[in-house]
Homo-oligomer: A and B are copies of this chain.
Amino acid sequence: MNKKSPLAPDRFPTLPLVAGVTIGAASVGIREQDVSDLMLAELEPGTAVAGVFTRSTTASAPVEWCRSALRGHRIRALVANSGNANAFTGKAGLASVKRTAAAAAKLFHCSPKQIFIASTGVIGEPLEVSKITKALPGLANQGLRPDGWQDAAQAIMTTDTFPKGAARTATIAGETVTIAGIAKGSGMIMPDMATLLAFVFTDASIPATVLQKLLVEANQGSFNAITVDSDTSTSDTVLMCATGKGARHRKVTGAGGQTLRDFRAKLAEVMVDLAHQIVRDGEGATKFITVTVTGAATKLSAHAIAMSIANSPLVKTAIAGGDANWGRIVMAVGKSGERANRDRLRIRIGGIKITEGGKARKGYDEAPVARHMQGREISIEVDVGVKTGPKGGRATVWTCDLTHGYISINADYRS
């Protein structure tokens, strides 16, 4: 395993129990011997499910399966493995997914369409599915616990250097419910609709159609707002399960309105937390970078400019070197193709104003900016000067620097 990211949190958070969910993991030899690589979650009957997936046109077999299964709105179990993405594996890949679903459906006495499947790892190598199907009964019968979060988060890691989890409590019309999630991802991260793997669970009772709206909304400002290397996976999957087994609360009928206000806010927090953890574990990352763009023509335009900055290899290597080379930010704004007023462009790094009137400020002192660049948490703010005030499009995205570590990991590791 690679050395733990310097941006990693001290420890895996203590996640609360979510009524109706048990979860666990096993080592079945897909990734490496004696490394946990299979996770299973059981959801009580009646659990609603929502999902968002990669937009890749070469999506993996499990992604195609989940997309189709989502139409049933119900989930009984979630099976995820690391070490093999079961992507670009042809008809055999789909057959593997079906065998896994059938095996799990038998264990949980449900339709195979209530089994959701995710795989991450090497693309293009056949998956030895019998390793999964043989291990499922033991894991289902003896390996599932209400507090198995960390084991599960560990089992879905690939080049990740730490397991990722987050939780919040929320109130729905006065009743307290719980939201907990786990995620993985550290390379091939520039989600387009979704990210690698993230599974979020709640004991609230929320219909699948409403859950889907909440998930899509929360996804926009979290997993869709991060990038490590601009590469979009074939396997990006975010699933959200609502068991309805927690405190009884007022019936939820729609996504809007007051009832879900707090729940939506807390869901956003959980997903942003997980998304940040993915960036903090970006391959080779040594710095966590927040890019905020304001004053754009639209919100979408602001997002595109922010991503252009966050994906620029020259910006990311300058930050890796602790170099306050803001000229590369100008370049990245320019290459985005989005509207920007060069002569009103305002750039701040670490909160310090650098430019004004289309050039460096008079008497600009690089010293405090250089000090900020030496830190672990880098802030870049750009106002592109197209629309001022609250009318201006605004977006924040998060990324990490591009270092020798990224090259070492990816020139050697077969992922």
A 36-54 to B, binary, CB cutoff 8 A, 1 in contact else 0: 0000000000000000001
* A406:B335 contact, CB within 8 angstroms: no
In whole angstroms, what is the CA distance A327 to B332 when docked? 29
Q: Which of A244-252, A271-279, A312-320 contacts B (4 or more CB under 8 A)?
A: A312-320
Tell me which residues across on chain B come within 8 A of A330, comparing CB atoms: 58, 87-88, 123-124, 234
- Tell me the bound Cα distance from A20 to B331 in angstroms: 36
Main SS of the interface on chain A?
Answer: loop
Interface of chain A residues 321 through 360 with chain B (CB within 8 A): 321, 323, 325-328, 330-340, 342-343, 345, 355, 357-360
- CB <8 Å contact, B58 and A342: yes
Interface string of A388-415 (1 = CB under 8 A from B): 0000000000000011101110111011
With known contacts A90-B343, A90-B359, A331-B234, A411–B313 Cβ distance under 8 A: no
Taking a contact as CB atoms closer than 8 A, the residue among B313, B328, B332, B412 that contacts A406 in the complex is B313
Say whether A317 contacts B58, CB under 8 Å.
Answer: no
Asked whether, in the complex, the Cβ of A59 is within 8 Å of the Cβ of B124, the reply is: no
Q: Mark A191-229, 1 if CB is under 8 A from B, else 0.
A: 010000000000000000000000000000000000001
What is the distance, in angstroms, from A160's C-beta to the closest C-beta of chain B? 16
Given the contacts A57-B337, A88-B359, A331-B123, A317 and B411 also touching, CB distance less than 8 Å: yes
Q: Is A188's beta carbon under 8 Å from chain B?
A: yes
Q: Is A93 an interface residue (CB 8 A)?
A: yes
Assembly CA distance A123 to B325 (angstroms): 9
A342 touching B414 by the CB < 8 A rule?
Answer: no
Answer whether residue A231 sits at the interface, using C-beta atoms and an 8 A cutoff: yes
How far, in whole Å, are A183 and B329 apart by their CA atoms in the complex? Answer: 25
Partner pick for A410 among B57, B313, B359, CB 8 A cutoff: B313
Cβ contact within 8 Å between B124 and A334: no
B317 touches A410 (CB 8 A): yes
Please tell me if the beta carbons of B331 and A188 are within 8 angstroms of each other in the complex.
yes
Quick check: B331 and A89 within 8 Å, CB to CB?
no
Chain B residue with minimal CB distance to A315? B231
A140-179 interface bits toward B, Cβ cutoff 8 Å, 1 = contact, 0 = none: 0000000000000000000000000000000000000000
List 18 A-B residue pairs with CB atoms under 8 Å apart, sorted by A's residue number.
Answer: A57-B334, A57-B336, A58-B345, A59-B334, A87-B327, A89-B358, A90-B357, A123-B331, A188-B331, A229-B313, A231-B312, A231-B335, A232-B334, A234-B334, A317-B406, A323-B412, A325-B415, A404-B407
A58-B345, A124-B360 known; 14 new pairs, CB 8 Å cut-off, are A87-B330, A88-B355, A123-B328, A188-B331, A190-B335, A231-B314, A231-B331, A313-B313, A313-B410, A320-B407, A321-B410, A323-B414, A404-B404, A404-B407
In the A-B complex, the 9 residue pairs with the smallest Cβ-Cβ separation, listed nearest first, are A123-B327, A321-B411, A58-B334, A90-B359, A56-B334, A317-B410, A232-B335, A124-B327, A90-B358
